C-alpha cells in the first residue's frame, strides 16, 4: 500500500520551512537566466549560455542538492522524531515503504526543479527555445534526481550525518575530482544526468556515456539503492 | 500448539560499552504483564526488541514464534505504543488512526478508526491536529492507533505518563479488560502501585537484569519483607539505646553514627512496637525515627542484590 505512505511523506516534506529555502536555491538558475535575457547582446551565444547553466549549475548543484535534502528527509525526519515507528509497526512490505518514501522525495524535488529548469530554458533561449532543447536536459534531471533521492534515502538509514556525506560527495567528488579524472566521473550521478544535456546541445562537454547507457546506469543506481535501503530498514536500530 | 506471544531466550543487548539488557529469558502468553524497573533498567529496550525495532546482540526474540524483524506480517497481531514519539503533528487524530487501520489492512478502516477513537474517549477531538493536543491526548491517540486492528499482543511503553487520574483509571480499565479477553498486554512502568492495579504478573528489570518475576502480590511481599534501615535520633543516651536494641528480636544489626542509632531490621512492623520499649529501658527519649533507603531505587538495588545472591 504505497499510496497512503507516499501522500503522508510528501505532505511531511512540503510543510517544512526548509522547502522555502530549497525553493530559493531552485530560483538561482532562473534569476541567472533572467539577468542574461535582460542584458544579452546579439553576439552572445544563447545556446552556449544555456548549456553552461544547465551543465554546470542546474544538474550538478541545484537539482542534486534539492534531491539530496528531500531524499534524506524522507526517512531522516521520521527517524529523528520517532514517527517512523508508526509505519514500521505495520504489516507493509519494507520495500513498499522505501519505494513510497523515494517516490515522495522525488515528487517534492520535481515540484521545485522542473518549473525552475523550464523557466530557465525559456528565459535563456528566448526565441530559440524548443521541446528538444528543454526536453532532453529535463529527462536528464528527472533520472538523475531519482537516483539522488534513492541514494540519499539509503544514506539516511546508514548514517547520522547523511546530508554532510551527501554534500561532500556532490561538491568534492562530483564537483571537483570527477571533473578532471575521467574514471572518477563514471562514479558520478550528475555526470550521467549531463549526458542527456549533451544529447541536445553539442556545445556541452563530452558526456561520460550515451543516453541509453546513462539511463541504464541511473536505473541500476535506483534499484540498488532501494534494495539496500530495504535491507537496512530491516536491520537498523529504530528510535 | 500455538506459539507464545513473547519468548525471550538468553537475550542481551548492548550499545558500545553499555549493557542495556543482560541474558534475559522469559515467556509471556495472555493477560496483562507489568514490566517494572527504574529509568535505564532496560524496559524500553525490551519493548523495542519485542516490537522488532532492535536486534538482540545475543539470544533470540520470538513473537508468536517468528522473528519480528524478519516478519512484517506479525504486525497484524501486534500493536505498539511508544513512550516518546507522538504521531505526525499535522494529521488529525482521526487521520492518524485511519492511516494505522489502512496500513494494517483493515477492510473498513473508517469504522475501525471510529471504534478505536471511542475506546480512548477521543471522538470529540478527533478532527483536531495532533500537534495541538496535550500530552495526555497524544497518549490516547497513540493508544487508539495501536488498538485499531484489534491486536493479540499490545506493547505499551509507560502509557500512563501524562494522563490525569480519570484518564489513568480509564486506560487501566481498558488494559485490564483486554487481558481478561485473553490478549497479551505488556506494559512498562517504574511505579509498582500503578502496575499492580492492572497486571497480575510482573517482570522486574534492574540494570538490564531480570531480577524478579512472578505474581504482583509476590513481588509486593518480597519488597515489603526486604531488610530495612531505620535512623533513630535519641535524646542523649544513644549508646544505652543501642545496647537495649541489640537484645531486641526485631533488630538484625545496630550501628552508632554521630550520636544517631542506625538499625537494620527484617521486620519493620515488629520494630515499631519494640523500639519504644527499648527507649524506655534505656531511659531516653526518641526525637526522630526515619527510614533510610526506602526509595524505589533502593528497592530495585535490593532486588538486584538478591538476584545476584541467588545466582551465586
**Binning pLDDT at 50, 70 and 90, where does residue B196 land?**
confident
Query: Which has the minimum average pLDDT: A160-164, A212-216, B266-270?
Result: B266-270
Which one has a higher pLDDT value, A178 or A139? A139
Residue B254 dihedral angles phi and psi, to the nearest 5°: -130, 140
Give the model's pLDDT for residue B268.
81
Q: Using CA coordinates, name the residue in chain A closest to B85.
A: A82
The enclosing H or E element of B156 equals: strand B153-157
Residues of B with CB under 8 A from a CB of A: 48, 51-55, 69-70, 72-76, 78-80, 82, 84-88, 90-91, 96, 99-100, 102-105, 145
Residue B203: is its pLDDT beyond 90?
yes
**B278-304: pLDDT as tens digits:** 989 988 888 888 887 666 666 777 777
Cα of B107 to nearest chain A Cα, Å: 13
**B214-233: pLDDT as tens digits:** 888 787 777 777 778 889 99
Q: What is the largest CA-CA distance in chain B?
A: 80
Place of cell 531480577: B211
**A76-93: pLDDT as tens digits:** 999 988 999 999 999 999
Q: Using CA coordinates, name the residue in chain A closest to B148.
A: A90
Q: How many angstroms separate the Cα of A223 from the Cα of each of A88, A218, A228, B201?
A: 21, 9, 9, 48
Collect all residues of chain B within an 8 Å Cβ-Cβ radius of residue A239: 53, 84-85
**Which residues are paired to B61 by β-bridges?**
B8
Give the model's pLDDT for residue A65.
96
Residue B78: is its pLDDT beyond 70?
yes
A3-14 mean pLDDT = 95
Q: Does A235 touch chain B (CB under 8 A)?
A: yes
Q: Which residue among B69, B80, B96 places its CB closest to the CB of A85? A: B80
Residue A25: is its pLDDT beyond 60?
yes
Closest C-alpha among B153, B134, B138 to residue B33: B153
Closest C-alpha among B23, B47, B89 to residue B189: B47
Residue A114 dihedral angles phi and psi, to the nearest 5°: -65, -50
CB-based contact B84 A82, cutoff 8 Å? yes
- How many C-beta neighbours within 10 Å does residue B311 have? 8
Tell me if B240 sits within 8 A of B284, measured CB to CB. yes
CB-based contact B82 A85, cutoff 8 Å? yes
**B140-184: pLDDT as tens digits:** 999 999 999 999 999 999 998 878 888 888 889 999 999 999 999
Residue B6: is its pLDDT beyond 60?
yes
Give the model's pLDDT for residue B14.
93
Q: Mapping DSSP to helix (H, G, I), strand (E, B) and coil, where does residue B111 land? A: helix
Q: How many angstroms separate the Cα of B154 from the Cα of each of B96, B140, B143, B146, B207?
A: 18, 14, 10, 7, 24
Cα of B221 to nearest chain A Cα, Å: 36
Give the model's pLDDT for residue B266.
82
Closest C-alpha among B176, B183, B209 to residue B64: B183
Residue A220 CB contacts under 8 Å (≥ 6 apart), including other chains: none
- Listed by number, the residues of chain A in 3-22 with a beta carbon closer than 8 Å to a beta carbon of chain B are 4-5, 8, 11-12, 15
A203-224 mean pLDDT = 89
Cα of B200 to nearest chain A Cα, Å: 27
d(CA B238, CA B244) in angstroms, rounded, equals 10
Give the model's pLDDT for residue B294.
62
**B242-278: pLDDT as tens digits:** 888 988 888 888 998 888 899 988 888 888 899 999 9
Give the model's pLDDT for residue B8.
96
Residue A146: is its pLDDT beyond 90?
yes
Tell me if A90 sits within 8 A of B72, measured CB to CB. yes
Q: Mapping DSSP to helix (H, G, I), strand (E, B) and coil, where does residue B63 land? A: strand
Which residue, among A15, A91, A92, would best test binding to B if mutated, counting the most B CBs under 10 Å from its CB? A91
CB-based contact A91 B55, cutoff 8 Å? no
A83-107 mean pLDDT = 95
ipTM greater than 0.95, yes or no? no
Q: Which residue among B72, B87, B91 places its CB closest to the CB of A93? A: B72
Q: How many angstroms separate the Cα of B202 from the Cα of each of A223, B219, B301?
A: 47, 8, 17
Place of cell 493536543: B133
Closest C-alpha among A190, A234, A236 to residue A214: A190
Residue B197: is its pLDDT beyond 70?
yes
Give the model's pLDDT for residue A166.
95
Closest C-alpha among A94, A95, A102 to residue A146: A102
A53-67 mean pLDDT = 92
Residue B234: is its pLDDT beyond 90?
no
Q: Which residue among B55, B72, B88 places its CB closest to the CB of A92? A: B72
Q: Kindly tell me the sign of the dihedral angle through the C-alpha atoms of A45, A50, A51, A53.
A: positive
Average pLDDT, rounded, for chain B: 89
**Which residues are paired to B24 by β-bridges?**
B11
**Which residues are paired to B92 by β-bridges?**
B129
Q: Which residue among A87, A90, A238 places its CB closest to the CB of B54? A: A238
Q: Using CA coordinates, name the residue in chain A closest to B54.
A: A237
Q: What is the largest CA-CA distance in chain A?
A: 63
Q: Does A38 touch chain B (CB under 8 A)?
A: no
Tell me if B265 sits within 8 A of B228, measured CB to CB. yes
Q: Using CA coordinates, name the residue in chain A closest to B82.
A: A85
Direct distance between the N- and C-terminal alpha carbons of chain B, in angstroms, rounded to an integer: 36
The enclosing H or E element of B28 equals: strand B18-28
Cα of A85 to nearest chain B Cα, Å: 8
Average pLDDT, rounded, for chain A: 91
Q: Would you state the cell numbers that stand for residue B124, as one nine-digit string?
A: 470529540
Q: Kindly tell me the sign of the dihedral angle through the C-alpha atoms of B67, B72, B77, B80.
A: positive
Collect all residues of chain A within an 8 Å Cβ-Cβ radius of residue B82: 82, 85
Give the model's pLDDT for residue B225.
72
CB-based contact B104 A94, cutoff 8 Å? no
Tell me if B159 sits within 8 A of B143, measured CB to CB. yes
Residue B305: is its pLDDT beyond 80?
no
**Which residues are paired to B289 by β-bridges?**
B232
Give the model's pLDDT for residue B310.
62
Collect all residues of chain B within an 8 Å Cβ-Cβ radius of residue A91: 72-76, 103-105
Q: Which residue among A86, A234, A237 places its CB closest to the CB of B87? A: A86
Residue B311: is its pLDDT beyond 80?
no
Q: Would you state the cell numbers that stand for residue B139, as one nine-digit string?
A: 497518549
d(CA A29, CA A49) in angstroms, rounded, equals 11
Give this prediction's pTM: 0.84
Q: Would you state the cell numbers that stand for residue A205, as one nine-digit string?
A: 562537454
Amino acid at each position: 500500500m504505497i499510496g497512503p505512505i507516499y501522500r503522508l511523506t510528501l505532505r511531511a516534506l512540503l510543510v517544512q520551512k526548509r522547502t522555502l529555502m530549497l525553493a530559493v536555491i531552485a530560483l538561482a538558475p532562473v534569476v541567472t537566466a533572467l539577468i542574461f535575457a535582460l542584458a544579452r547582446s546579439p553576439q552572445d551565444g544563447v545556446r552556449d549560455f544555456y548549456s553552461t547553466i544547465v551543465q554546470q549549475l542546474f544538474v550538478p548543484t541545484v537539482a542534486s542538492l534539492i534531491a539530496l535534502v528531500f531524499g534524506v528527509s524522507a526517512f531522516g525526519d521520521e527517524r529523528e522524531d520517532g514517527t517512523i515507528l508508526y509505519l514500521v509497526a505495520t504489516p507493509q512490505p519494507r520495500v513498499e515503504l522505501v519505494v513510497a518514501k523515494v517516490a515522495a522525495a522525488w515528487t517534492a524535488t520535481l515540484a521545485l526543479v522542473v518549473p525552475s529548469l523550464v523557466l530557465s530554458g525559456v528565459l535563456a533561449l528566448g526565441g530559440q527555445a524548443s521541446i528538444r532543447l528543454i526536453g532532453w536536459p529535463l529527462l536528464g534531471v528527472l533520472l538523475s534526481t531519482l537516483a539522488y533521492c534513492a541514494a540519499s534515502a539509503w544514506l539516511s538509514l546508514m548514517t547520522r550525518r547523511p546530508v554532510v556525506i551527501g554534500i561532500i560527495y556532490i561538491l568534492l567528488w562530483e564537483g571537483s575530482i570527477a571533473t578532471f579524472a575521467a574514471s572518477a566521473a563514471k562514479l558520478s550521478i550528475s555526470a550521467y544526468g549531463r549526458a542527456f544535456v549533451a544529447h541536445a546541445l553539442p556545445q556541452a562537454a563530452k558526456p561520460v556515456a550515451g543516453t541509453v547507457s546513462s539511463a541504464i546506469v541511473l536505473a541500476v543506481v535506483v534499484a540498488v539503492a532501494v534494495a539496500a535501503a530495504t535491507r537496512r530498514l530491516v536491520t537498523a536500530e529504530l528510535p | 500448539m500455538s506459539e507464545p506471544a513473547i519468548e525471550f531466550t538468553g537475550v542481551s543487548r548492548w550499545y558500545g560499552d553499555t549493557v542495556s539488557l543482560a541474558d534475559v529469558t522469559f515467556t509471556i502468553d495472555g493477560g496483562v504483564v507489568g514490566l517494572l524497573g527504574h529509568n535505564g533498567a532496560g524496559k524500553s529496550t525490551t519493548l523495542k526488541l519485542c516490537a522488532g525495532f532492535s536486534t538482540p546482540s545475543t539470544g533470540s526474540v520470538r513473537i508468536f514464534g517468528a522473528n519480528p524483524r524478519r516478519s512484517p506480517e506479525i504486525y497484524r497481531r501486534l500493536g505498539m505504543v511508544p513512550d516518546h514519539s507522538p504521531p505526525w503533528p499535522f494529521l488529525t487524530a482521526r487521520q492518524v488512526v485511519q492511516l494505522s487501520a489502512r496500513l494494517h489492512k483493515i477492510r473498513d478502516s473508517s469504522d475501525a478508526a471510529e471504534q478505536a477513537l471511542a475506546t480512548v474517549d477521543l471522538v470529540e477531538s478527533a478532527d483536531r491536529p495532533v500537534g495541538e493536543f496535550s500530552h495526555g491526548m497524544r497518549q490516547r491517540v497513540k493508544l487508539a492507533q495501536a488498538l485499531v486492528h484489534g491486536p493479540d499482543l499490545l506493547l505499551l511503553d509507560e502509557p500512563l505518563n501524562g494522563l490525569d487520574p480519570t484518564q489513568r483509571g480509564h486506560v487501566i480499565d481498558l488494559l485490564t479488560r483486554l487481558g481478561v479477553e485473553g490478549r497479551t498486554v505488556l506494559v512498562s512502568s517504574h511505579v509498582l502501585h500503578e502496575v499492580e492495579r492492572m497486571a497480575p504478573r510482573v517482570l522486574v528489570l534492574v540494570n538490564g537484569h531480570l531480577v524478579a518475576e512472578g505474581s504482583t502480590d509476590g513481588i509486593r511481599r518480597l519488597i515489603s519483607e526486604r531488610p530495612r534501615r531505620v535512623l533513630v535520633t535519641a535524646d542523649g543516651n544513644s549508646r544505652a539505646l543501642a545496647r537495649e536494641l541489640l537484645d531486641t528480636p526485631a533488630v538484625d544489626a545496630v550501628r552508632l553514627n554521630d550520636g544517631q542509632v542506625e538499625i537494620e531490621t527484617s521486620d519493620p512492623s515488629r520494630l515499631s512496637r519494640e523500639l519504644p520499649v527499648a527507649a524506655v529501658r534505656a531511659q531516653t527519649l526518641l526525637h526522630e525515627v526515619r527510614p533510610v533507603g526506602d526509595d524505589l531505587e533502593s528497592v530495585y538495588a535490593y532486588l538486584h542484590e538478591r538476584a545476584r545472591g541467588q545466582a551465586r
